[in-house]
Structure 1
Amino acid sequence: MSNVVGLHCINCGKTYSPQPGLYTCSRCGEKEGILDVDYDYDYIKKALSPQGLQGNREHSMWRYRPFLPVNQEGPLPPLRVGWSPLYYVPRLAQEIGLKHLYVKDDGVNPTASLKDRASAVAVARALAEGAASVACASTGNAASSLAGAAASVGLKAFIFVPARAPQGKVAQLLIFGATVVSVQGSYEDAFRLSDQAIKRWGWYNRNAAINPYLVEGKKTVCLEVAEQLGWEVPDWVVVSVGDGCTLAGAWKAWLDLHRVGWIERLPRMLGVQAEGCCPITRAFREGGKVQPAEENTIADSIAVGVPRNPEKALRAIRESGGTMINVSDEEILKAMRLLGRSTGVFGEPAGVAGLAGLARAVAEGIVRPEEKVVCLVTGNGLKDVATAIKAAGAPLSLPPDMEQLERALQGLI
């Protein structure tokens, strides 16, 4: 990887050369020794430019290949991941009290979530390392994204999910041919079992909170945002937060763009957690280490009681001058309805938690009405149809009778 200089531990600063199987700092251990990827920014500036991107017909995340920790030449997964639409949504903006709001709909990715970006990098690296199998633990989206990416190139996938994972996500896993282990316990239980299995059988590790390269895949969502906005930086970027990897990746994108001189300033990051599972918010507010929390929310994809990568997320919030905020399940359900009827975008609970948090942040004066905001919608609502129906309510149920129809529609037409 001619564009990658190496890796460094965000805790002690020790540096490493990239090598297969190296994911965490040997000095600090798995929990504290999270690594970050360092790039040769001079190489990137020579390989890519905003002007060069204008004529680039690769409308996927791979248009930013020099920014990514993959071989600059060689096979890549064939599924089209990324270049998701960025919608200007004035009706939604007005409803929550903003003048300028954009929604990035990552639910249009191949397996319907932002996690496809990380899994694409994982599979590219697994191919380069000659791995035959890939594995991860997930609340659902990372699992389905890995299973789909692995299926596209013929790799075996071993997936560990907690028993509460929505059936829509489990169905994806099975259709993609993955070996699925439904663990009778929490996400933390599933993670520990996957970690033991990965070490036992030598599978490629797609756990984003451990593998430093996967955050780099997630950052492409904001590389796209920057380009889609004509390199004009928003005032705020809003992200739903589970283990912290998506927030960390989103912030890394803006740092990378600033380091190559493509943007002149940085946005503030707003991280949003569910009230029923908010260990990172609590650590941000109290200033201490992240402590385990219950996983008690309908937003299953961000229900991570023991986040494995909180420090990068906390660093993103603090460095950007942003903040963390929590929302209730009722606010999440409301945000699902609001997003759908005002934009036509269908988001799953975790995918719209950011919007729920943004609405609260505007109401509390954290985000000012005149500021330009980008809100990431990280997953499609079809991932969790049962909760969507709970949010939207039941349809009208009538016999084929015009008089009854007229009575039912009174006040609606």
Structure 2
Amino acid sequence: MKYVLGAKCTRCGAEYEALPTITTCKCGGILDIQYSYSAIRDHFSPADLEQTRDWSMWRYRPFLPVEEDSPAPPLRVGWSPLYKADRLAGVLGLKTLYIKDDGQNPTASLKDRASAMAVVKAREAGADTIACSSTGNAASSLAGNAAAAGLSTYIFVPSRAPKGKVAQLMIFGATVISVDGSYEDTFALSKAAIDRWGWYNRNAAINPYLSEGKKTVSFELMEQLHWQVPDYVALSVGDGCTIAGVWKGLKDLYETGFIDRLPKLLSVQAEGCCPLNRALQTGEPWSPMEENTLADSIAVGVPRNADKALNAVRESGGIAVNVSDEEILEAMRLLGRTQGVFGEPAGVTGTAGVKKTLELGLIDPDSTVVSIVTGNGLKDVANGIRAAGEPMLVRPDLDALLSAFDARNIRP
């Protein structure tokens, strides 16, 4: 790993060699991968990226903690589209809005970035089996990326996980354990099983390399914006791993001179499960909450990456805002009807937060905002229908169609 210096605990500052099997610090803190930014700056620049024809997350390899000869996994992960969302911006009363649609990754979520990294590090560790616990997206991304690489997976999900995500797991050939309990219960069981059988651990709050995969979404959106920094980057928050990864990527770019300033983070959680935002809003230490939201991917009552996530939002001078389930469903409708982007509930929670902050006067309407859609709506069709409603049902007769139109005040 040409530019990696090692790993450092975010809690006590202890330093470790960046071996592929490192997990958490002895004190229980999460590790952070450290780089020689001066060395990256001397050998890599935006001009080099202009010559790179690898349209995946691996175009940023100098910023990633992988061996130079480690091959990328087979699935193409990354380089998801960034849309200038003028129609939605007009509806919200915002000057400039971009939507980064990471639901277009191979298994339809941002979590593919972390799972692709996990596959590479598992290979470097000589492992043939990877395991994790997940509310759904991390599980399906791991199962798909591992299957393509010829690795076995054991996946632990809460029994409430949407059927679309569980179907992905089964299709990808994972050994799936549906746990009759909360995400915390699921995490605990996966940890016990990993400890017993020695599988490679893909749990993002245990494995420090996974945030390094997630941070590539920051590299992409900044390159797609031609290195012009927005005022805010908005995204949904559950375990805290994704927002921590996004901030790490932005700081990497700042430290190496690719960008000249840092944006503020907009941390958005569901009202029914917002332990991290509650800590940010009150200044008190975070405490567990019930997992009471339809946005299953962020229904994490005991966040495992709290330190990194809280540090990221605070360091950025960002904003924490909570949204109701109805506001999440409304964001699904808005994104679909103004921009043609179908996001799952957790995937659109960041966009719901943009709307909420504007309504509350927390951000200037003249701001430039990027909202990251973290997962595709086809993963949770039941809530997609809940947001959009059922179609009209008519007999195969024109008069019946006209009557149905009249009843709904439709004037073609």
Is the aligned partner of 1:394 residue 2:390?
yes
What is the match of residue 90 of structure 1?
86
Encode CA deviations 1:73-95: one digit per residue, 9 max, x unaligned.
22221100000000001110011
What is the match of residue 24 of structure 2?
24
Residue number among 42, 57, 61 corresponding to 2:53 in the alignment: 57
What is the match of residue 145 of structure 1?
141
Residue number among 231, 256, 260 corresponding to 1:260 in the alignment: 256
Alignment of structure 1 residues 109-148 onto 2, 5 Å = 109-148=105-144
In the TM superposition, what is the alpha-carbon distance from 1:20 to its structure 2 partner?
4.0
CA contact (8 A) 2:88 2:339 kept: yes
What one-letter code is carried by the residue in structure 1 that aligns with 2:164?
Answer: G
What one-letter code is carried by the residue in structure 1 that aligns with 2:397?
Answer: D
What one-letter code is carried by the residue in structure 1 that aligns with 2:23?
Answer: Y
Counting aligned pairs with the same residue, the percent is 63
What is the match of residue 189 of structure 2?
193
Alignment of structure 1 residues 266-285 onto 2, 5 Å = 266-285=262-281
What is the match of residue 101 of structure 1?
97
What one-letter code is carried by the residue in structure 2 that aligns with 1:19?
Answer: L
Is the aligned partner of 1:246 residue 2:236?
no
CA RMSD of aligned residues (A): 0.9
Is the aligned partner of 1:76 residue 2:72?
yes
User: Structure 1 CA distance, aligned partners of 2:285 and 2:116?
Assistant: 31
Corresponding pairs, count: 409
CA contact (8 A) 2:157 2:183 kept: yes
In the TM superposition, what is the alpha-carbon distance from 1:71 to its structure 2 partner?
1.1
What is the match of residue 408 of structure 1?
404
User: Structure 2 CA distance, aligned partners of 1:396 and 1:19?
Assistant: 58
In the TM superposition, what is the alpha-carbon distance from 1:409 to its structure 2 partner?
2.5
What one-letter code is carried by the residue in structure 2 that aligns with 1:74?
Answer: S
Encode CA deviations 1:18-75: one digit per residue, 9 max, x unaligned.
124321111x12xxx1110101113322442101111211000000011111112222
What is the match of residue 221 of structure 1?
217
What one-letter code is carried by the residue in structure 2 that aligns with 1:290?
Answer: W
CA spacing shift, 1:175–1:90, aligned 2, 3 Å? same
SS of the aligned residue for 1:142 comes to helix
What is the match of residue 285 of structure 2?
289
User: Structure 2 CA distance, aligned partners of 1:377 and 1:278?
Assistant: 19
SS of the aligned residue for 1:409 comes to helix
User: Structure 2 CA distance, aligned partners of 1:170 and 1:46?
Assistant: 45
What one-letter code is carried by the residue in structure 2 that aligns with 1:253?
Answer: G
User: Structure 1 CA distance, aligned partners of 2:264 and 2:345?
Assistant: 23
User: Structure 2 CA distance, aligned partners of 1:5 and 1:71?
Assistant: 13
What is the match of residue 349 of structure 1?
345
CA contact (8 A) 2:23 2:206 kept: yes
What one-letter code is carried by the residue in structure 1 that aligns with 2:4?
Answer: V
User: Structure 1 CA distance, aligned partners of 2:334 and 2:71?
Assistant: 41
What one-letter code is carried by the residue in structure 2 that aligns with 1:132?
Answer: D
TM-score (ref. length: structure 2): 0.98
User: Structure 2 CA distance, aligned partners of 1:82 and 1:96?
Assistant: 28
What one-letter code is carried by the residue in structure 2 that aligns with 1:319?
Answer: E
Structure 1: 5+ residue stretches without partners: none
Is the aligned partner of 1:313 residue 2:309?
yes
SS of the aligned residue for 1:36 comes to strand
CA spacing shift, 1:276–1:99, aligned 2, 3 Å? same
What is the match of residue 180 of structure 1?
176
User: Structure 1 CA distance, aligned partners of 2:199 and 2:40?
Assistant: 31
When structure 1 is superposed on structure 2, of 70-79 and 211-220 the one drifting more is 70-79
What one-letter code is carried by the residue in structure 2 that aligns with 1:239?
Answer: L
Runs of 4+ in 1 over 4 A off after TM superposition: none
What one-letter code is carried by the residue in structure 1 that aligns with 2:285?
Answer: K
In the TM superposition, what is the alpha-carbon distance from 1:289 to its structure 2 partner?
2.0
What is the match of residue 233 of structure 1?
229
Encode CA deviations 1:316-348: one digit per residue, 9 max, x unaligned.
111111111100000000110000000000000
What is the match of residue 48 of structure 1?
44
Encode CA deviations 1:86-143: one digit per residue, 9 max, x unaligned.
0001110011110100000000000000000000000000011110100000000000
User: Structure 2 CA distance, aligned partners of 1:18 and 1:317?
Assistant: 26
User: Structure 1 CA distance, aligned partners of 2:95 and 2:388?
Assistant: 27
Encode CA deviations 1:1-26: one digit per residue, 9 max, x unaligned.
12210011111111111124321111
